[in-house]
Amino acid sequence: MTDDLLKLWAEIDEAGSQEAYIRGELERLGYLVQRRDVDDMSKRQLADYKKALKKEAAERRRLKKEVWQAYKTANIVHLGEGVYWNDAAAIDKWDHPKAEERAAENELPPLDKPAQLAEALHMDVAELRWLAWNREAAKKIHYRRFTIPKRNGGEREIWAPLPKIKAAQSWILRNIAERLPVHGAAHGFLAGRSIVTNAAVHTNAGIVVRVDLKDFFPTVTFPRVKGIFRKAGYREQTATLLALLCTESPRQVIEHENETWYIALGPRCLPQGAPTSPALTNTLCFRLDQRLTGLTAKMGWRYTRYADDLTFSLPTNHQGEPKLGYLLNKIPHIVEEEGFAVNEKKTWVARKGGRQAVTGLTINGKAGPRVSRELKRNMRAAIHNLKQGKSHEKAQKITQLIGNAAFIYMVEPILGAKLLAELRPFLESSK
């Protein structure tokens, strides 16, 4: 049925307009009535003329309904509450003046029409519209909710995309988001970079400052995401669809009259759980990273960012005033000007002599990033207890220990390899 309607729309498009197609069909089928002056008609002629006009009108209504179905199959039409959409592919004044050139520079796939995006995502336009549709209240959404514990004892809410929209987001990630410019100070969710490369920048530091961005993903709302895609080289229509596919409103789950409803609590934003969210924030933070890098370089400090975790450090061999107060005063201003906010409760300063940690790794001295002594001690105790036939006091499973050892291997390969070798016999015996 969909293929037939798409074929019909191709015929309508070839005719030049919907009205031209309808008129052509009326003529082909013999329903089109030549308009005449009724004053000179006899009663019989007038009756026949009116009858013919009624048949034409009935056939026109049928064709209009058919054309509308074809139009909805091939066009977006509407995207829900509060979303501006126009099926006409006219150039919008907010589009990048050289959009196609910019997209080519970023090596992005050409997506001039919704149908092209739908084809790239291996779906039809109707399914694309369904995935992108915006609702304030919905009985079904494209995400499932769960929580994970925070280090401070609270819970972090995660909205994980369901398979259909996750597949679309994964395509956007591979073909668009990962090709967009990212500043060298960014270390999160990038090939060849990790918490280890992030921490390594700050070794041998006299002072380490950590700053956390408040509500990082919720701050990146639909208009900002749409702006990312426009700046990348896509025009109004495509940027709107891409932004809708990558955002969702934070929602409250309520039960009403034995039905589950998902009620929007705020504007659409990047969900913490979507594969596209980290990459989009990395490119969005390009100017933030650029400005903070410029600020710290002038002062002799170093700067990196891992997602919403900003780290600044002053080398021990720095000559002159540290200007710590000036830095702590300047950071929030730059952050706010770039559309984010500092979580003042999580700003942390560590001087030489105390434990200095960056993205969970110890960096004191010149030895480079390493895991905490506590984790190493716990691992050795757990392996010792296993060898003695005792259960570990924290009842850790072998798989958990293997995971910890793999983490240590990523940071300290020699120690990690030793621990993995000691754990391997216990993993094999537990199968």
| pLDDT value of residue 156 | 78
C-alpha–C-alpha distance, residues 303 and 184, integer Å? 10
Residue 94 in this model has a pLDDT that exceeds 90: no
pLDDT at 390 over 80: no
Contact (CB, 8 A) for 125 and 74: yes
Measured CA to CA, the distance from residue 163 to residue 47 in angstroms comes to 61
| pLDDT tens digit sequence for 338-377 | 999 999 999 999 998 889 999 999 999 888 999 999 999 9
Residues 199, 92: Cα–Cα separation, whole Å: 44
DSSP-derived secondary structure letter, 246: H
- Give which of 209, 206, 216, 241 is closest to 226, Cα–Cα: 241
Closest CA to 157 of 250, 64, 232, 220: 250
pLDDT band at 393 (very low <50, low <70, confident <90, very high): very low
CA neighbours closer than 13 Å in the CB half-sphere of residue 393: 6
Q: What is the mean pLDDT of residues 157-164?
A: 91
Q: Which residue type sits at 361?
A: L
**Amino acid of residue 274:** A
String of b and e for 288-315 (b: at least 16 CB within 10 Å)?
A: bbebbbebbeebebbbbbbbbbbbbbbe
71-86: average pLDDT: 94
- Please tell me what DSSP assigns to residue 111: -
* pLDDT confidence of residue 394: 42
Query: In the predicted model, is pLDDT for residue 50 greater than 60?
Result: yes
Q: Taking 70 as the threshold, does the pLDDT of residue 247 lie above it?
A: yes
**Distance between CA atoms of 161 and 171, rounded to whole angstroms?**
13
Q: What does the pLDDT read at residue 395?
A: 40
Give the model's pLDDT for residue 242. Answer: 98
Asked if 169 contacts 121 with a C-beta cutoff of 8 angstroms, the reply is: no
- Helix or strand holding residue 263 (H, E): strand 259-264
More confident residue, 97 or 175: 175
The shares of helix, strand and coil residues in the chain, as percent rounded to the nearest 5, are 50, 15, 35
- Looking at the chain, the whole-number percentage of residues with pLDDT higher than 90 is 82
On whether the CB atoms of residues 370 and 415 are closer than 8 A, the answer is no
pLDDT confidence band for 218 (50 / 70 / 90): very high
| pLDDT above 60: residue 392 | no
The pLDDT assigned to 335 comes to 98
Average pLDDT over residues 396-409: 89
Question: Looking at this protein, which amino acid is placed at residue 245?
Answer: L
pLDDT in tens, 107-142: 999 999 999 999 999 999 999 999 999 999 999 999
Provide the pLDDT confidence category of residue 428 given band limits of 50, 70 and 90: confident
Most confident of 97-106, 144-153, 243-252: 243-252
Determine the Cα–Cα distance for residues 209 and 313; give it in Å rounded to an integer: 6
The answer to whether residue 152 scores a pLDDT higher than 70 is: no
Residue 93 clears pLDDT 90, i.e. is over it: no
Query: Coil, helix or strand for 405?
Result: helix
pLDDT of the residue at 95: 83
Least confident of 87-91, 266-270, 272-276: 87-91
Mean pLDDT of 242-270: 94
Q: pLDDT at position 74, please?
A: 92
Lowest mean pLDDT among 346-350, 390-394, 419-423, 426-430: 390-394
Mean pLDDT, all residues of the chain:
93
pLDDT in the model for residue 211: 98
Residue 151: band (very low, low, confident or very high) from pLDDT cuts 50, 70, 90: low
Q: Does residue 391 carry a pLDDT above 70?
A: no
Q: What is the pLDDT of residue 396?
A: 57
Crossing angle for the helix pair 373-387 and 413-429, to the nearest 10 degrees: 30
Task: Give pLDDT tens digits for 196-210.
Answer: 999 999 999 999 999
Is pLDDT at 89 greater than 60 in this prediction?
A: yes
CA distance 3 to 9: 10
